[in-house]
A and B are shown apart, each in its own frame.
Chain A
């Protein structure tokens, strides 16, 4: 079984005795309410998905990650995992050495932050390095501008795991996926990250990958995404239908990945790979424009970034795939690596065109998307249209 990043799977969930003590203590502590991304991050730190992190980053790790794509001790890590607070609100009451009670927006008590350090974020530098842009149009930049200017660093003791309203049956912690893989005897497992419904191109690269490993973990991201991304429950219905009809059930597993999207392109690809290693996966599929947004990243930048690290220090093996499509001349799914024909022979439907077709109740060609997936998406888009029309009246 592949080792977690840093060698040990972190567990920051306290035992029952400590839980009682901290629950009693919490009302007397300064309080901080976390946003959706911070709640996701906290939960992933709690269960070891973010190993070796045992809390939110301090300034040393933050600077090192932003500038060098590594934690201060040298381990590869490409995305800052930080907890923000705003000046002029309750910021001044948080003092290093204090314990702070962390709550979600529904006022559920989640954890204690053992505050070690409070430091000013360099958001311009963070955006320029991590997102490669300071453009306000980028959702990552928008997020940075929406949060406080100071970050709070320190270990966390998680008292109550986050109560997610949906998909709880599909929520498997790293130690649970590791248990599954061990139990099934799977030695080589590839993970597929997605925040979109699965079309034929995705299915093709998943199956190409599956040809060379023991199993596929379909690991859709279910944390916070852009408001115009397809809702998580619709996506999950697509995954269920495609797995039921087109994948070998003996070699495939579906579980949700609770992270929030950063839209940080290549850096997020490495981040996603490292986290999947913590889940016990040995391979990770990286397609075109992984975790990208608009034209901010080159189509294959998420492939090249892996060259900046030694294979041993990342450990999980990236599986790179080019743009895939159905080629009429080849008569099968192919990619720019394997097809010699021109784009005139390729069946390609843009995202916008596909959305228009689904909204009109038109089923796209089976070479683009499976009919079962089309059915789910048509239902979603037509009900969305009906709701919008009703709201307009």
Chain B
């Protein structure tokens, strides 16, 4: 019988098997009781096929000229960026963000104010 709440983690290696003669509702009660007492962990996150596809597509490879990549590696030095990729993602997000943040919730005056506030904090 399959657990109505999904696979159950007893340890990282072991899944709880459910005797076939237990009613689903009874099992849910037992399961919740064990969960409350922390004798077992919550259901494992198991991505469905849609989520798996989304995960596959969450990152793409972009090619840039190697000399530019080397220059970026030198540029980031001790700046706190862990890699050239981190730096490039940061710069691109900043650039893309600037074009996207014409937010309907703000008037143009308010946008100026918010940007000023965030710049003063060093966030923009």
What 7 pairs across the A-B complex have the smallest Cβ distances?
A: A185-B93, A183-B97, A183-B101, A185-B97, A248-B80, A175-B105, A250-B90
Closest chain-A Cβ to B34's Cβ sits at a distance in Å of 11
Q: Across the interface, do B114 and A307 meet the contact criterion of CB distance under 8 Å?
A: no
Closest chain-A Cβ to B23's Cβ sits at a distance in Å of 21
Question: Chain A: residues with CB nearer than 8 A to chain B?
Answer: 9, 169-170, 172, 175-176, 179-180, 182-186, 248-250, 253-254, 300, 304, 307
Q: Across the interface, do A184 and B123 meet the contact criterion of CB distance under 8 Å?
A: yes
Q: Across the interface, do B118 and A176 meet the contact criterion of CB distance under 8 Å?
A: yes
User: DSSP class of B's interface residues: helix, strand, loop or mixed?
Assistant: helix
Q: Across the interface, do A307 and B101 meet the contact criterion of CB distance under 8 Å?
A: no
Closest chain-B Cβ to A381's Cβ sits at a distance in Å of 28
Assembled-state Cα–Cα distance A182/B103 (Å):
10
Question: Chain B: residues with CB nearer than 8 A to chain A?
Answer: 32, 35-36, 38, 42, 80-82, 86, 89-90, 92-94, 96-98, 100-101, 103, 105-106, 111, 114, 117-118, 120-124
**Nearest CB to that of A170 among chain B residues?**
B121
Q: List 7 A-B contacts (CB under 8 A).
A: A169-B121, A175-B103, A176-B117, A179-B106, A184-B93, A185-B93, A250-B86
Assembled-state Cα–Cα distance A170/B100 (Å):
24
Assembled-state Cα–Cα distance A186/B101 (Å):
13
Across-interface contacts of A186 in B (CB, < 8 A): 93
Across-interface contacts of B114 in A (CB, < 8 A): 176, 179
Closest chain-A Cβ to B51's Cβ sits at a distance in Å of 13
A182 with B97: in contact, given A175-B105, A175-B106, A249-B122 (CB under 8 Å)?
Answer: yes
Q: Across the interface, do B80 and A249 meet the contact criterion of CB distance under 8 Å?
A: yes
Q: Across the interface, do B94 and A182 meet the contact criterion of CB distance under 8 Å?
A: no
**Nearest CB to that of A248 among chain B residues?**
B80
Assembled-state Cα–Cα distance A182/B93 (Å):
9
User: Which one of B36, B103, B123 contacts A307 once the chains associate, using CB atoms below 8 Å?
Assistant: B36
Across-interface contacts of A179 in B (CB, < 8 A): 101, 103, 106, 111, 114, 118
Assembled-state Cα–Cα distance A350/B47 (Å):
41
Q: Across the interface, do A182 and B101 meet the contact criterion of CB distance under 8 Å?
A: yes
User: DSSP class of A's interface residues: helix, strand, loop or mixed?
Assistant: helix
Q: Across the interface, do A9 and B117 meet the contact criterion of CB distance under 8 Å?
A: no
Q: Across the interface, do A185 and B105 meet the contact criterion of CB distance under 8 Å?
A: no
Assembled-state Cα–Cα distance A253/B117 (Å):
13
**Nearest CB to that of B103 among chain A residues?**
A179
User: Which one of A183, A249, A307 contacts B35 once the chains associate, using CB atoms below 8 Å?
Assistant: A307
Assembled-state Cα–Cα distance A172/B114 (Å):
9
User: Which one of B81, B89, B98, B120 contacts A183 once the chains associate, using CB atoms below 8 Å?
Assistant: B98
Assembled-state Cα–Cα distance A169/B100 (Å):
24
Across-interface contacts of B101 in A (CB, < 8 A): 179, 182-183
Closest chain-B Cβ to A141's Cβ sits at a distance in Å of 25
Across-interface contacts of B117 in A (CB, < 8 A): 169, 172, 176
Closest chain-B Cβ to A90's Cβ sits at a distance in Å of 38
Closest chain-A Cβ to B71's Cβ sits at a distance in Å of 19
Most buried by B among A9, A172, A183, A185: A183
Closest chain-B Cβ to A241's Cβ sits at a distance in Å of 15
Closest chain-B Cβ to A314's Cβ sits at a distance in Å of 13
Closest chain-B Cβ to A186's Cβ sits at a distance in Å of 8
Q: Across the interface, do B97 and A250 meet the contact criterion of CB distance under 8 Å?
A: no
16 more CB-based (< 8 A) A-B contacts, given A183-B94, A300-B38: A9-B105, A170-B121, A172-B117, A175-B103, A176-B117, A176-B118, A179-B106, A179-B111, A180-B118, A182-B97, A183-B100, A184-B93, A184-B123, A185-B97, A304-B35, A307-B32
**Nearest CB to that of A48 among chain B residues?**
B105
Assembled-state Cα–Cα distance A249/B87 (Å):
12
User: Which one of A182, A253, A300 contacts B123 once the chains associate, using CB atoms below 8 Å?
Assistant: A253
A180 with B123: in contact, given A175-B105, A185-B94, A249-B80 (CB under 8 Å)?
Answer: yes
**Nearest CB to that of B81 among chain A residues?**
A250
Across-interface contacts of B86 in A (CB, < 8 A): 250
**Nearest CB to that of B87 among chain A residues?**
A250
Closest chain-B Cβ to A44's Cβ sits at a distance in Å of 17
Across-interface contacts of B96 in A (CB, < 8 A): 185
Across-interface contacts of A176 in B (CB, < 8 A): 114, 117-118
Q: Across the interface, do B123 and A304 meet the contact criterion of CB distance under 8 Å?
A: no
Assembled-state Cα–Cα distance A184/B100 (Å):
10
Q: Across the interface, do A184 and B81 meet the contact criterion of CB distance under 8 Å?
A: no
Across-interface contacts of A182 in B (CB, < 8 A): 97, 100-101, 103
